[in-house]
Amino acid sequence: MDAQYWEQIMNDTSASIWHHLPSDLVSRIETCVDAACGRLSTKNPVSIFFRADDIAVPGKNFFQLIELFISYRIPLSLAVVPAWITKIRWQTIKQSANKAPKLWCWHQHGWRHMNHESKGKKQEFGPGRSIDRIRKDLLYGRKRLEMVLGNAFYPVFTPPWNRCDHNTLELLKKFKYRAVSRSQYSKPLPPNGLPDFSVNVDLHTCKETNPIEAWNHLFKELFQSLSSGFCGIMLHHQRMNEPAFIFLELLLRALIKEKYFRLVSLKDLSENRKT
């Protein structure tokens, strides 16, 4: 893994929300979920997926995350950084994940998770690069994941920082990726035939520094997402501490109790499977 990535994690001071948990957390989660269900205008179940980014190096937080999803039998879509994964790391990952192999959607997260833009927002697959470089990195990444992960790899693309340019989207369609997953309302729009299953709740890269505002922001985001009828929740296990794991478990418990919700993976969404 490169220094640029770890520097970003170490310099991140945005985790004020996870310094301690509000005492009324359980009731706040339940109130948020109930209010969102009351607001639903459709009788169709709400699809909810969890996407864990920056996967490749198995460690304590990674195993804790996997065990949590296994214990509730909830699908998780894992965005793997191709240049960081090795056969040895994959063997270690598989040992824990294989207890429930059907829960996971292992898919592609860029190539090296490197920013190539000299100004503006960070992007690995952005307008600062030629279409040739983009094509090469996309295919290097895919080939590597196919080689290391074998049949466990599923061709969905999550661009690092949830952003990519028009050329990337066209290439994803050309190379028969089943979907892309970015932030909600991302531009440019994907071409017809390439669905964008976007995330609209971000648990671990929240920018609020005041914990009260950060919690209000998170519950507002969760309410809007659930009541919109489609909910994608982004996780970053490297940034998680014990309170973050406690919150996530409480959230999973609240979500599985609700009959309107359908917990799915990006593979389920891509194949439009009923689960």
The binding site for Zn ion (CB under 5 A) comprises 53-54, 160
Which CB, 4 or 98, lies closer to Zn ion? 4
Least distance between Zn ion and beta carbon 79 (Å): 7
- What whole-number distance in Å separates Cα of residue 78 and Cα of residue 105? 6
Which CB, 28 or 236, lies closer to Zn ion? 236
Least distance between Zn ion and beta carbon 132 (Å): 23
Which CB, 28 or 51, lies closer to Zn ion? 51
Q: Which amino acid is at 130?
A: S
Q: Which amino acid is at 110?
A: G
Least distance between Zn ion and beta carbon 177 (Å): 17
DSSP notation for 162-205: G-B-HHHHHHHHHTT-SEE--BTT-SSPPPTT--B--B-EESS-
Which CB, 153 or 161, lies closer to Zn ion? 161
Please state, as a whole number, how many other Cβ atoms lie within 10 Å of the Cβ of residue 142.
20
Distances in Å between the Cα of 16 and the Cα atoms of 122, 145, 190 are: 23, 35, 35
Residue 90 three-state SS = helix
Beta strand pairing call for 179-180 and 153-157: parallel
Least distance between Zn ion and beta carbon 80 (Å): 10
Which CB, 64 or 205, lies closer to Zn ion? 205
Q: Using CB positions, name the residue nearest to Zn ion.
A: 53
- What whole-number distance in Å separates Cα of residue 232 and Cα of residue 105? 14
Least distance between Zn ion and beta carbon 111 (Å): 12
Least distance between Zn ion and beta carbon 97 (Å): 19
Cβ atoms of 175 and 191 within 8 Å: the answer is no
Half-sphere exposure of 262 (CA within 13 A, CB side): 16
Which CB, 36 or 52, lies closer to Zn ion? 52
